[in-house]
Amino acid sequence: MSDPANEPSLAERAAAFRVDVIRPVLTTLTELTGRELGGDAAEELLLLTALHESGGLRWRRQLSGGPALGLYQMEPATHDDIWMHFLSSRPELDAALRDMFTPAEGQIDSSLLELDDGYATAMARMHYFRGRQALPAAGDAAAQAAYWKRHYNTHLGAGTVAAFLESRANAGLA
């Protein structure tokens, strides 16, 4: 049995997720596409999205039995819509994602959101990227929360700006 005293804190896990998953994915996407998809603003917004959506980097399936998958809790319908209506008209992004994440079986589908944190990160970045508005500055908590609500959770989602800000604070990023 593991000793909770030896478990990394949420802040430590968040920092590791940013450095080990988010940053390398965004760096590779930038290199493959020639589009600037990384930087502090993108890294921080993605980290905060994952922290909030997954209850502190814990949940890979929606708790209520809903369809959302992965640390970013993306629904398969959203995943498929990004591929059909956004990536299909942006060949450099489409090719980069296929080069980075096509499994040995040769098929990318929404199940990868739950199985591959790098893929889930790339798809969350595509979700924000298709919004076409500039990302809020790193460190601007209120703007990040509003941006997440407007572009990721949307007015149809149950999430709130207050809860997003609470997730940020719980991870020691207040």
What's residue 173's pLDDT?
80
pLDDT of residue 103: 86
- Residue 54 confidence (pLDDT): 96
pLDDT for the residue 109: 95
User: Residue 74 has what DSSP assignment?
Assistant: B
Amino acid type, 157: G
Distance (Å, whole) CA 166 – CA 22: 21
Q: Which of 123, 150, 126 is nearest to 136 (CA)?
A: 150
Q: Which domain holds residue 36?
A: 4-170
What's the pLDDT score for residue 47? 97
Rounded to an integer, what is the distance from CA 38 to the centroid of its chain?
12
At residue 127, the pLDDT reads 97
Per-residue confidence (pLDDT) for residue 41, from 0 to 100: 97
User: Which among 57, 87, 86 is positioned nearest to 73, based on CA atoms?
Assistant: 57
pLDDT at res. 4: 66
Structural domain count, the chain: 1
pLDDT tens string, the chain, 174 residues long: the values are 566 678 899 999 999 999 999 999 999 999 999 999 999 999 999 999 999 999 999 999 998 888 999 999 999 999 999 999 999 999 999 999 999 999 888 889 999 999 999 999 999 999 999 988 899 999 999 999 999 999 999 887 788 999 999 999 998 886
**Which amino acid type is present at position 15?**
A
